[in-house]
Amino acid sequence: MQKQSFPISLPTGRNRLIGSLLRKLTAILCVVSFQLPLQAQVLINESFKNSTTTTFTLRNDAVLTANNGGGTTDTEGNGYLRLTSNGTNQRGAVISNAAFPAAQGFNISFEFFAYTASTSGADGFSVFLIDGATPLANFTPGAFGSSLGYAPATTGTTTTPGATNGYLGIGLDEFGGFNTNFEGRTGGGATYVRNTVAIRGNAAGGYALLTPVLTTSNAGGTIGVSTTRAQSTSTNYRRATISVTPTGGTYRIIVRIQNGTGLTTAINSFLLPTAPPATLRLGLAASTGSSTNTHEVRNLYVVVPPTAQDDNVVTPNNTPITISILDNDNAANSTFDYSTIDLDPSTIAIEQTRTVTGGTFRVNANGTVTFTPSGTGSVGAVSIPYLVSTNAVGTGTTAVPATPTNPATITVQVGGQGTDIATSVTAPRTVTPSSTITYTVTTTNIGTAAASTVRPTLTLSQGLSPVNLPAAYSYANGVVTFPETSSLAAGTGSVSYTVSFTAPSTISTVTGTARATTSSTDVNANNNNGTAANSVALTDVSRPLPVELVHFKAVAAVDNVQLTWRTASERNNAYFQVESSLNGHTFSPVGRVRGHGTSSRPHDYAFTDASAAQYGSAVVYYRLRQVDGDGTETFSSVRAVQLQDGLLPARLQLVPNPAHAQVQVLEASTSTPIELLDLTGRIVRVHTASTPLPLTGISAGVYVVRQGARTARLVVQ
């Protein structure tokens, strides 16, 4: 059986890891729905092959080559995003027009092309994420040259700031400067190391280098090549895949670079130190200096994938065992296709029988896997990776194709008994400076054999001031070492410790990572080595909220939604912005209510959304954005309102939404004009349905598109 192909080109021949790992990062664009979707796997799908894009805004020297960009003659459907030409001191960037939710995690995949007559060009690419609340008009890329459009830089007396509200920047660095501390960059080495991949952090931390300083290349090959626009059959073909997985309130990052038919993991499971904002925007940038390359990008996908979890079981000597490997996996609102269970993700073919040292794994028709040990004696732990794809969902323009999971591991402990210690940590999510934070670390033996000499630890941020310690704490590296436990009984043995300390005023986020070791053979090290989601806790240290909100209600009335809220006290409260959403993730402003500044008395507020019935959705979500006098903002919890069915007109379908340059009204009548109305009911544009509705000259905001009795809400950016 051959592994399923997706709408990207894959190299021919046997391709270690490429087929399996790249399939999970590709998908077909879904038309935006105005209700909560059944699946939300595709966040961005942009080929950059055409003369226009509604997905991204281009900045500086960035051009689309199908639009005569850079003097090219590429035809429509055959173009590229050119971030720089092969000239000196070029700089180009793009930023996504729409923000997407941060909490779910996602994978990024794109082809990149850096080429001249040699492989010694410069400077490189960056892939970056910024706070999704940043208005497009306010966004400015970071410094170019070795900062690659994300980090800041100081040259002479001039300082160029980093990317506006940056959260994360990943550099694909041809010249090696992104990894250095030159030009005033925070963190990094004093030596240029070509062909490296590194991560820099958020704006609040000075865009500091987060990954270790590199002394050798980790990209698996040269980022710049001598072949012009090398395609997938060439050894000079390049593709980047980035896995962004939620873990303990932050992200775990994996970066892989495809070099021809080889795949290199440049950054493996790096845990970011800070939590992401609620939403994110994606950006790409590239630059040249005195050394040059043409820098281009194609076929960018941002996908929310299904997920697979590790499976760990124990079986006696010479006794087969059947494992329900899919029971703890998440199909992302689809179902798993049993025929795609692949026991060897390192090959192109789907392997449903695999023999390794210690036994044979075989996939059954019902999606389970049977392991048969070899020989009659104890062979210890036997492990293999696997992945599985979901079934395709939907048809036509709303179809979501089959999507692979991340690779997970099946581990079978053969012979004797199995010890399995699992460690977790809990802590408050938010505290105020100078308050007491308490972290609780729990270590449990969930295996079938007793665990001997168990040593739990907790790695905290460095330089804290502990208040209550049951054991040693190292100020230098932040490690708390708890008392050793001589034995934990099988199945139920557990030990818990707490450590308390004063919340610092100089650190915005405190991180705690729990681990444990045992002198016994541990069946599964992944639940006690600090990589499991529940082994990491983050605590945000923030000032007290400026407004004490007593209640916030949203109720559907006859033809509108009435919102009311009360505050117990206020401090420097400038105003409340009422925001609505049709999917619970992307919010747009619908009105503003002035606050009472500073007050210790209760205050009642009310707002009526008179346009709710025109949104074309059975459910509308509301939240309050409270803004201080100094611009600091906080958000209320979200309220969902079920509108009366009789008030809802038939909905139009708009693609894309949000939109910038134009919007297509699907299945519109050609005999009735399309009207664009603002939220006061004023008609601002009338258009025929035969062509997309142009948005040139329309101010950013929320509008209603109407054709006869059918309406839909449109967000213009």
The pLDDT of 430-444, averaged and rounded, is 86
**pTM, entire model:** 0.52
CB count in 10 Å sphere of residue 650:
11
Instruction: Provide CB contacts within 8 A for 26, sequence distance 6+.
Output: 6, 7, 8, 109, 301, 303, 401
**Bridge partners of 424?**
442
* Cis peptide upstream of residue 656 (ω within 30 degrees of 0): yes
> If we measure between CA atoms, which residue out of 225, 221, 217 comes closest to residue 86?
225
**Bridge partners of 628?**
573
The whole-number pLDDT of residue 11 equals: 32
Report whether 279 contacts 335 (CB < 8 A). no
Summarised one tens digit per residue, pLDDT across range 68-79 is 766 777 899 999
pLDDT at 20 over 80: no
Summarised one tens digit per residue, pLDDT across range 570-605 is 888 899 999 988 766 678 888 999 999 988 888 999
Backbone angles phi, psi at 70, to 5 degrees: 70, 20
Segment holding 19, helix H or strand E: helix 18-23
Over pLDDT 70: what percentage of the chain? 85
Task: Say how many CA atoms lie within 13 Å of 181 toward its Cβ.
Answer: 10
How remote is the C-alpha of 317 from its chain's centroid? 43
The whole-number pLDDT of residue 82 equals: 95
Segment holding 21, helix H or strand E: helix 18-23
Backbone angles phi, psi at 646, to 5 degrees: -65, -15
Report whether 99 contacts 280 (CB < 8 A). yes
Token pair 């995003």 in the structure block, residue: 81
At 473, which amino acid appears? Y
Segment holding 83, helix H or strand E: strand 81-84
Q: Is 484 or 376 the better-scoring residue by pLDDT?
A: 484
Q: Three-class SS of residue 218? A: coil
Q: Three-class SS of residue 526? A: helix
Distances (CA, A) of 548 to 218, 542, 592, 593: 50, 15, 18, 16
Distances (CA, A) of 465 to 332, 501, 511, 538: 43, 6, 14, 17
Instruction: Report the greatest alpha carbon distance in the chain.
Output: 82
The whole-number pLDDT of residue 107 equals: 85
* pLDDT confidence band for 166 (50 / 70 / 90): very high
What is the rounded distance in angstroms from the CA atom of residue 112 to the CA atom of residue 105? 23
353-356/430-431 β-pairing? unpaired
pLDDT at 160 over 70: yes
* pLDDT confidence band for 379 (50 / 70 / 90): low
The whole-number pLDDT of residue 348 equals: 60
Q: Three-class SS of residue 96? A: strand
pLDDT at 467 over 70: no
* pLDDT confidence band for 110 (50 / 70 / 90): very high
Tokens encoding 267: 């950054």
pLDDT at 172 over 90: yes
At 672, which amino acid appears? T
pLDDT at 57 over 50: yes
What is the rounded distance in angstroms from the CA atom of residue 440 to the CA atom of residue 107? 32
436-445/494-502 β-pairing? antiparallel
Tokens encoding 591: 């009105």
The pLDDT of 173-184, averaged and rounded, is 92
Tokens encoding 76: 């429509």
Tokens encoding 370: 């049977």
pLDDT at 398 over 50: no
430-431/536-541 β-pairing? parallel
Summarised one tens digit per residue, pLDDT across range 661-683 is 888 887 676 667 888 887 666 78
Summarised one tens digit per residue, pLDDT across range 193-214 is 999 999 999 999 999 999 988 9
At 112, which amino acid appears? F
Report whether 196 contacts 214 (CB < 8 A). yes
What is the rounded distance in angstroms from the CA atom of residue 85 to the CA atom of residue 645? 55
Q: What is the CA radius of gyration of the chain?
A: 27
Segment holding 639, helix H or strand E: strand 639-642
Report whether 239 contacts 101 (CB < 8 A). no
Print burial letters for 371-409: b (CB count within 10 Å at least 16), e (below 16): bebeeeeebebbbbbbbbbbbebbeeebebbbbbbbbbb
* Cis peptide upstream of residue 123 (ω within 30 degrees of 0): yes
What is the rounded distance in angstroms from the CA atom of residue 634 to the CA atom of residue 278? 11
Summarised one tens digit per residue, pLDDT across range 610-647 is 777 667 666 788 889 898 888 888 878 778 787 654 34
User: Rounded mean pLDDT of the chain?
Assistant: 82
What is the rounded distance in angstroms from the CA atom of residue 74 to the CA atom of residue 78? 6
Print burial letters for 194-223: b (CB count within 10 Å at least 16), e (below 16): bbbbbbbbbbebbbbbbbebbeebbbbbbb
The whole-number pLDDT of residue 125 equals: 96
pLDDT at 380 over 80: no
Poorest-confidence range of 21-35, 122-136, 364-378? 21-35
The pLDDT of 222-249, averaged and rounded, is 90
Summarised one tens digit per residue, pLDDT across range 302-343 is 877 788 888 888 787 788 999 999 988 888 667 889 999 999
Q: Three-class SS of residue 57? A: strand
> If we measure between CA atoms, which residue out of 435, 443, 428 comes closest to residue 467?
435
pLDDT at 522 over 70: yes
What is the rounded distance in angstroms from the CA atom of residue 597 to the CA atom of residue 634? 15
Q: Three-class SS of residue 421? A: strand
Task: Say how many CA atoms lie within 13 Å of 146 toward its Cβ.
Answer: 25
Q: Virtual CA dihedral for 456, 460, 466, 469, nearest 10 degrees?
A: 0
The whole-number pLDDT of residue 135 equals: 92
The whole-number pLDDT of residue 449 equals: 82
What is the rounded distance in angstroms from the CA atom of residue 167 to the CA atom of residue 176? 21
The whole-number pLDDT of residue 7 equals: 32
